[in-house]
Structure 1
Amino acid sequence: MKNRIGIVGPQDSVDLILEVAQEFHDRITQVPFVYTHSEEAKDIVLDHKDKIDVWFFSGQAPYAIAEPYIKSKSGFYPSLTGFSLTKVLLDISYRDQKSLDRLSFDTIPASEVMETFSELHLQTKSLELFPYSGYKPSEELFQYHYDLYKQNKVDCCITGIHSVYKKLNELGVPSYRLIPTKMDIRDKMLIATQRSEIMQFQSSQISILILQIHEMSHLISKSNVSFDAHRLSLKLQEIVIEFAEKIQGSFIQQGIEKFIIFSTRGTLEDQSNQSIFDLLEKIKLITNLPANLGIGYGITVVDAEQNAYLALNHANQYDKNTIMLVDEKGVVNGPLFDKNSISFTRRIHDSEVVDKLQLAGVNVSTYTKVLAVQEKLRNGSLSAHELAKWLGMTQRNARRILSDLEKHGLAQIVGEEVPGTRGRPRRIFKVGKVEDTP
C-alpha cells in the first residue's frame, strides 16, 4: 500500500508540486489541499491528519503554522534558494526591463540574497531585506512592502507569500513571487517519500510498555482486609484496561505491581502524549504510590520486551513517576514529557574511547548521556552544575565524572563561569575525544 502525502499550499504552488510529485507516483499517493491564505494550513491538518502519512507544504509559513499539529518529522517544505531568486531577477531585468537596484524581499534568507547578488556582480546597498524563521502574518509582510514602496524606497517587491503577492498586485505595486524551483521541490519530495516509507515500517513495529508500581506489596501488607487489597487490584486493572483499549493493545499482569502492555508503535504514537502521562497520574491518584514506565520498540516481541525492560531500568535509576523509551536502534529517550529530556545511545564503536572510559571509571551509558546533555545545551560545552541538573545527580558526582573524563582525554576545560551567588568559579568542559596536538 502506497503512503499518502498531503500537499498543502495555494493553487499554483500545489499544481507545481503535483507536477514534480508525479515522478514518485509508484511510491506515494498525492493528496492536494488548496488554500487561499497560509493560516488555513492548521485546519487542513487537523481535519485530515488521520488520512495522511506525511505532509508537504508549499513553504515555511504554512509549515510553521501546521507544525504543532503534525507528528514529529512528518512535515516538509522546499526552501527558497538562490536558484529561486535568480529566476525572479531574470523576470525583472530581462523580461520586464526593470532595474535591480531598489528591491524589497521577505522570507528568503538574507545569505541567499547577498550571495546571489554577489555572484551576479549586482550592488546590494539599496536592498531591503525581511528574512524570518517560522511564520509572520501576511498582513505584516504586505505592510512592510507597501510602506517601502509608498515611501519611494523600492521600485519592486519580492515576496514568498502568495496572498501578499496578490494584494500588492491588486494595489498596483510592482511585485514578484518567489517560488521554489523544481529541483528544490524534487529534492525535498524525495526526502518526504523516504520518510513516509520509514514511518510505515516503524508503525508496524511491536511496542511493549512495562508499568511498575513501587511499594505495592508494602501497601497491601498494611491492609487488614483482604477485600481492600482485591478492590485496589481491580481498580488498577481497570485503568490499564482503559489505556490498552485506547492503543488497541492487550496486557498481562505480573504479580501485584507490574503490568506488561502490548501494542504496535503506530497505534501508540497516534495517541497524545497526555494519554501516556495520564496513566501514571491515575495510578498515583488511587494508590498514592510512585510508578515508572518503560516503553520499548522492536521488530520482534523479544526485541521490544528487551528494550522496554532497559527503558524501565533507566526510569528507575532517574526518578519516580518517570517514563523512558528505548527505540529499535537501542537509543534511549527520556524522561519523556520532561524539559530535561535527552536522547542517548548505549553503544560506542570507537575502541580507543571505550578503553579511555574504562580507565576513567565511567561507563558507556553515562558518557553518552553527558554527550547528549552537551548537545541539548547547544553551546558545545557544559558545567558540572548543568550536568547535575539534567541528569538528576549531585553536583559532586557530576564534577567527578567530568574530571575523570578530562584526566583521560575525553574532555577538556574550555573556560570558567561565575555562579549567580557567592562561590568558586565553575569550570566549563567540552566533552569528546581530545585529539593529540603535534
Structure 2
Amino acid sequence: MGITIGLIGVKDTIDFISSVITEHEDVACITLVHENPTDIERLMKEYENKVDMWLFSGYLPYMIGLVNSNTAQSSFYLTYSGTSLYKTLYLIQSEHGVTVNQLSFDTINPLELESIFRELNVDYSKHLLQEEVLDVETVVKHHEDLYRSGLTQFALTCVWSVQQELEKRNIPVYRITPTISDIKATVNIMLRHNELEKYRNAQIAVQMIEIDILEVKDNYITSSDELYHLEVKYTSQLLRYSKKINGSLKQVGPGRYVIFTTQGMLKWLTTDFKSLPSSEFEELFKLNKIIVGIGMGQSAYEAEMHALRALYKAREHGEGAWFVCFHDKKLFGPLNSLDGRNYVTETEELKKISSETSLSVVTLAKLSAAIDKLKKSDFSANTVAQELSILPRSARRILMTLEKNGYANVVSEEHPYTRGRPRKIYRLLLKNE
C-alpha cells in the first residue's frame, strides 16, 4: 500500500518538486502552497488526516510547522546539497564574474559551505552565513547589512520569502533551489522511514490495566452481587475496547486485565502516545481508580515485562495514570497531556504570549511545564531541546523569539567545552510572579 505525502511549498517550485515525488508509483502527493508563515499551521490542521507524512520545501517552513503544530505525522524538509549550491554559483560566476567570498548565504549547513570554500581554495568567513533562522526579517537583515556595507555583491538564499523581500529592497539575490537528486534522496529517506514505522507498528504491544472496583463508586458496595455486576460491566467495556484495537483481552485477577495488540493500534488510539483514548471510552478510562501500563517488545514476553514496568511507574504516579515503556526500556507518561506531563494549555497569559510571538500555545505550555518541573526559569537551548524533544537549533529559535518579544532575557553564558562558542542562558518570563 502506498503513502500520501503532504508537500508544503511555494508556488514557483512546488509543481517541480511534486513531479519528481510522483515518479514513485506507490507515492501520492498533495501540494499545499503557502505564501506566509501563518498559512503553514492552518494547512497542516486542515490536511492532517489526509496525509501520512509531511515534506517541506525548505528548512524555515519546516521549523515553523514543527514549532507551531502538534501533528502526529513525521515531518521532513528538502536539504540543499553541494550540487544545488554549485549550480547557483556557476550561474553567478558566468553571468557576473562574482567570486564566492563576495556572496552572503542563509540556511545552509555550515560544514558543507565551509567544505565548498575549501574546495574552491577560498578563505571561508563565518559572517557570510546566517545559520540561525529566527524569522524572515532576521535573514533579510543579514543579507542587507552585508550588501549595504560593501562586503558582498549578491545574496544567495534558500527561502522564497527572503528572495521576495530582498528584491523589493533592490538587493541582487539568487535563490538556491533543490535539484532532482536532492528531491529523490529526501523521498527515499521518507520511504525507508515509512517502512521502519510499519515494522514497528506491527510489533507486539501489551496493555496492563488495573481497576480498583471497590473504590470506583461514591458509595460503598453493599453486596457480592453488586461487586459481580461491576466486574461484568467493566469487563464488557474492555472487551469492546479490545475489539477497537484488534486486541485480545485476558482477565488475570479481580480488576486486573491484560490486552495483547500491536504498537500501531495503540499509537493510533493515543495519538502517537500523547493523549488518552477518545470520548468513546471516556466512562472507562476517566475513572480515578484506574491505572494503565503499556509495553512494547520483540516478543510477547518482552512486551509483558515492559508493560509491567510501566504499570509500576503508573502506580507510583497515582490514580488515573497511563505510562508507556518502549523497546529501549525508556518510560514515558502520563499520557493525559501532550508531552507526558500535566499542564494547562489554554491560560489567558499563554494565549497572549502566543499572539505576540507566533509560537503555539502548546509550545509555550511545554516550556511552562518545564519551569514547574525543574523549579527554575533559566534555560540553555540544549535544556529546552531536551525538555521539548526538539533539535537544539529549534530550541534556539524559540528562545530568540521569546527574547525578541520581551519574554526572555539573556542572563549569563556557560562554557561547557574548552573549544567552541559559549552557550547563552535565557531567563524565561512566561509566568506572572
Both proteins in one fold, TM over 0.5: yes
CA contact (8 A) 2:323 2:333 kept: yes
CA contact (8 A) 2:214 2:221 kept: no
Alpha-carbon separation, structure 2, partners of 1:32 and 1:16? 11
1:91 aligns with 2:88: no
Alpha-carbon separation, structure 2, partners of 1:187 and 1:325? 33
Alpha-carbon separation, structure 2, partners of 1:5 and 1:27? 11
* Gap runs ≥5 in structure 1: 342-377, 380-438
Question: Which residue is 1:69 aligned to?
Answer: 70
1:81 aligns with 2:81: yes
Match of 1:152 among 127, 150, 153: 150
Match of 1:197 among 195, 198, 216: 195
Alpha-carbon separation, structure 2, partners of 1:279 and 1:334? 26
1:275 aligns with 2:272: no
Match of 2:135 among 137, 152, 162: 137
| Residue type at the aligned position of 1:44 | L
Any idea what SS the aligned residue of 2:129 has?
A: strand
| Residue type at the aligned position of 1:20 | V
Alpha-carbon separation, structure 2, partners of 1:58 and 1:306? 44
- 1:13-412 mapped onto 2 (5 Å cutoff): 13-23=13-23, 25-67=24-66, 68-71=69-72, 74-125=74-125, 128-132=128-132, 136-200=134-198, 202-203=200-201, 207-213=205-211, 223-226=221-224, 229=227, 233=231, 253-261=251-259, 265-270=263-268, 271-272=270-271, 273-275=274-276, 286-288=287-289, 291-296=291-296, 303=299, 305-318=300-313, 320=315, 321=321, 323-326=323-326, 331-337=328-334
Question: Which residue is 1:414 aligned to?
Answer: none
What TM-score comes out, normalization by structure 1 length? 0.62
Alpha-carbon separation, structure 2, partners of 1:99 and 1:204? 54
**Structure 2 vs 1, CA of residues 55 and 340 (structure 1 numbering), >3 Å: closer, same or farther?**
closer
CA contact (8 A) 2:22 2:28 kept: no
| Residue type at the aligned position of 1:109 | N
Shift in Å, 1:118: 1.5
Q: Deviations over 1:17-47 (max 9, x none)?
A: 2233244x22212222222235422222221
Shift in Å, 1:178: 2.0
Alpha-carbon separation, structure 1, partners of 2:178 and 2:37? 16
**Structure 2 vs 1, CA of residues 187 and 205 (structure 1 numbering), >3 Å: closer, same or farther?**
same
**Structure 2 vs 1, CA of residues 212 and 112 (structure 1 numbering), >3 Å: closer, same or farther?**
same
Question: Which residue is 1:405 aligned to?
Answer: none
Q: CA RMSD in A?
A: 3.9
Q: Number of residues paired by the alignment?
A: 328
**Structure 2 vs 1, CA of residues 239 and 141 (structure 1 numbering), >3 Å: closer, same or farther?**
farther
CA contact (8 A) 1:243 1:279 kept: no
What TM-score comes out, normalization by structure 2 length? 0.63
Shift in Å, 1:7: 1.7
Question: Which residue is 2:373 aligned to?
Answer: none
CA contact (8 A) 1:8 1:33 kept: yes
CA contact (8 A) 2:295 2:326 kept: yes
Any idea what SS the aligned residue of 1:118 has?
A: helix
Any idea what SS the aligned residue of 1:8 has?
A: strand
| Residue type at the aligned position of 2:254 | I
CA contact (8 A) 1:294 1:323 kept: yes
**Larger Rg, first or second structure (1 or 2):** 1
Alpha-carbon separation, structure 2, partners of 1:241 and 1:39? 44
Shift in Å, 1:119: 0.9
Q: Deviations over 1:195-232 (max 9, x none)?
A: 2234345556665422124x657999x85544664576
Alpha-carbon separation, structure 2, partners of 1:38 and 1:181? 24
| Residue type at the aligned position of 2:64 | I
Shift in Å, 1:193: 1.6
| Residue type at the aligned position of 1:101 | N
Any idea what SS the aligned residue of 1:188 has?
A: helix
- 1:425-436 mapped onto 2 (5 Å cutoff): none
